[in-house]
Amino acid sequence: MSEKDKGETKMAVDTMAGGGERVSSWRRLGSMREAGLIAIILALCVIMTFASPHFLTLGNFRAMLMSFSVEGIVVVGMTVLLIVGGIDLAVGSVVCFAMVFAGSLFLLGLDPWSASLLGILASAAIGAIMGFFVTVVGLNHFITSLAAMVIVRGLCLIITKGTPLSLFTMPPEFKAVGQGTFYGVPYVILIFIAVVVVFDFLLRRATAFRKVFYTGSNEKAAQYSGIKTKQVKFWVTVMCSTLSGVAGVIYMSRFGAATPTFGVGMELNIIAAAVIGGASLNGGSGTILGAILGIALLSVVASSLILLDVSVYWQDMIKGCILLAAVSIDHFLHKRKA
């Protein structure tokens, strides 16, 4: 029967983060999204090495890695949120909010570490409020976070009265977080790698994160398995905002300033990266590694366009086309005869 056939043709394409499943065949590995993305990124790198003498340099690679490291932390949160079946359009605003909130506290005389911690907690609180509207009031993630995006951006403008905060008086130990290096490797990159490794591991192995997959795959079946799906959705929403807050204070340390318009449009880049990396907007699937490769791809493309002297006006259009292409290819590869 057709049902069975669907499965037979589909069996090789389980891209889910497979906790305890020992992957049984190379064929499955070959069809994994991550492998495809790595191939595309490598191919792009090879082409660019020939196309531009400045591409294959340590400086350029460090710049590229720096450019997506902080956003990468937000991508991690967004990926988990997409897996649970949610979405957060407010991440750009929350990143900015953490930045200006912590920055203002610092200017009021608080030490930058405590100010940063409060900035992150305030971001978590925004996540909790969104989570409340999603799980208790019963609005969907899209509308709730759309409203939050606008409200939180407004808060940023109110706090700063519309002008950037200059934070050059921050102590050097704090600036080191965003600007310093450890044996030549920027702290930012180390923090990013730590977040990725921890969350990738948790998502594959932790019981709490398994519930995220159950809830996103079939919320009703999860409820009928005794999983408190509202709690799961609430905490994932909080987590996503918290990671945005972390990214915000790292940006503050890195720039030595807090701009109330920072991060406008960031959410689209973040969502695009997660989706290119295999997260489904329908929930239930996605991997951290894939999402990180997604944002790496976008970053390599951006860097290439600059090195090739492509007008900045073209860059957004090209990014959009890549998103469309990635999702279309995926759709054909994983086509479900629903």
Helix, strand, or coil (residue 182): strand
Number of residues engaging another protein in binding (CB under 8 A): 41
Integer Rg of the chain from CA: 20
Q: How far is the CB of 103 from another protein (least distance, A)?
A: 35
The reply on whether position 161 binds another protein by CB under 8 A is no
CB atoms near residue 291 (< 10 Å): 33
N-term to C-term CA, the chain: 14
The site string for another protein over 103-122 (x = CB under 8 A, - otherwise) reads --------------------
Helix, strand, or coil (residue 208): helix
Residues 265-294 that bind another protein (CB under 8 A): 284-285
Rounded CA gap, 122 and 102, in Å? 9
Rounded CA gap, 335 and 201, in Å? 28
Rounded CA gap, 82 and 79, in Å? 5
216: left (phi over 0), alpha (psi -120 to 50) or beta: alpha
Q: Using the minimum distance from each CB to another protein, give the nearer residue, 123 or 135.
A: 135
Q: Using the minimum distance from each CB to another protein, give the nearer residue, 101 or 213.
A: 213
The reply on whether position 38 binds another protein by CB under 8 A is no
Residues 200-219 that bind another protein (CB under 8 A): 205-208, 210-211, 213-214, 217-218
Sign of the C-alpha dihedral computed for residues 79, 80, 82 and 83 taken in this order: positive
Q: How far is the CB of 93 from another protein (least distance, A)?
A: 31
Place of tokens 């590694």: 289
Stretch of 5-13, 44-52, 128-136, 179-187 lying at the interface with another protein (CB under 8 A): 5-13
Stretch of 19-27, 102-110, 115-123, 309-317 lying at the interface with another protein (CB under 8 A): 19-27
Q: How far is the CB of 208 from another protein (least distance, A)?
A: 6
Q: How far is the CB of 54 from another protein (least distance, A)?
A: 44
Q: Using the minimum distance from each CB to another protein, give the nearer residue, 1 or 317.
A: 1
Please classify residue 300 by burial: count the beta carbons closer than 10 Å to its beta carbon, then call 0-12 exposed, 13-18 middle and 19+ buried: buried
Q: How far is the CB of 221 from another protein (least distance, A)?
A: 5
Would you tell me the crossing angle of helices 266-276 and 312-333 to the nearest 10 degrees?
A: 30
The reply on whether position 4 binds another protein by CB under 8 A is yes
Rounded CA gap, 278 and 297, in Å? 13
The reply on whether position 224 binds another protein by CB under 8 A is yes
Q: How far is the CB of 158 from another protein (least distance, A)?
A: 39
Residues near another protein, by CB under 8 A: 1-11, 14, 16, 18-24, 205-208, 210-211, 213-214, 217-218, 220-228, 284-285
